[in-house]
Chain A
């Protein structure tokens, strides 16, 4: 039977759909059974341990999502695994209002966009690094040429 162009296109599309995707980065949704969820108090304790001030705790994409400020006063938004309380995603908002991480409303969630900041020098971090490798505790100076 002779195939029409439309049929041929559909066949090609069907074949393409069965091909495995290329390198995909990890998803950031949670799928934890309700019985394994830790209470909100545990999230509050986690925040306290990290020196965060919480403004809001909600549930999004099956994870805890918190908003508030970190110990240095920087605006933060984090996704927390409800069972292990691991930080899955952390987003900082810098003083100029730019997000240093992605938003949930990204259309291309699975693609790391080339950051606008790639074109300019990234801002130097504001706080001392957390490890003893840094001799004087001063943050590194960073330049992208």
Chain B
């Protein structure tokens, strides 16, 4: 009985951390002064094979415009279930969107990539505006987007 308990205690201690470990991460997206309306932004993650893994945040409240975030839309089929509870307002030109969340540890140094798709009314869509590999060494390094994002950083 004692050995059974000991085994249980040991296996629990070994397996649980692997499942539960997460780290607080701050994603900072600073938009340039592109001189247009508020930008719709989709922040999502793909796995090492490039397959969609999940969405972290959707900035922009009107679902009818989500197809302008074309890579995200193609990956999810526009499934609103993917962003249930993780949507907010669009982000104005020159503003900074700061998202703090607990990200699963398993995403880092494992080939996962964080993407941002951007779209602005009357301006060009910018799918894959930002694509950064999630690595512990890449944290804190600012990356420039293609069209609307002046800089993107993730800090741990």
CA of A124 to CA of B92 in the docked complex: distance in angstroms?
18
Chain A residues positioned under 8 Å from B105 (CB to CB): 135
- Most B CB contacts (10 A, CB to CB) among A118, A123, A128, A138 go to A118
Total contacting residues, chain A, CB less than 8 A: 46
- Most A CB contacts (10 A, CB to CB) among B45, B56, B86, B107 go to B86
Chain B residues positioned under 8 Å from A87 (CB to CB): 63, 80
Chain A residues numbered 59-118 whose CB sits less than 8 Å from any CB in chain B = 70, 72, 86-90, 100-102, 111-115, 117-118
Q: What does DSSP make chain B's interface, helix, strand, loop or mixed?
A: mixed
The A-B contact count (CB < 8 A) is 150
Known contacts A125-B86, A135-B104, A145-B96; is A88 also within 8 Å of B64 by CB? yes
Q: Of A1-9, A10-18, A19-27, A32-40, which stretch is located at the interface?
A: A19-27
Chain A residues positioned under 8 Å from B65 (CB to CB): 25-26, 112
- Whether B90 is near chain A, meaning CB under 8 Å from some CB there, is yes
Beyond the given pairs A22-B122, A136-B20, 14 more chain A to chain B contacts, judged by CB atoms under 8 angstroms and listed by A's residue number, are: A23-B121, A27-B64, A28-B64, A89-B62, A102-B61, A114-B38, A127-B84, A130-B82, A130-B85, A131-B53, A132-B54, A133-B56, A140-B56, A142-B100
Query: Which residues of A come within 8 Å of B, CB atoms?
Result: 22-23, 25-28, 50, 70, 72, 86-90, 100-102, 111-115, 117-118, 122-123, 125-136, 138-145
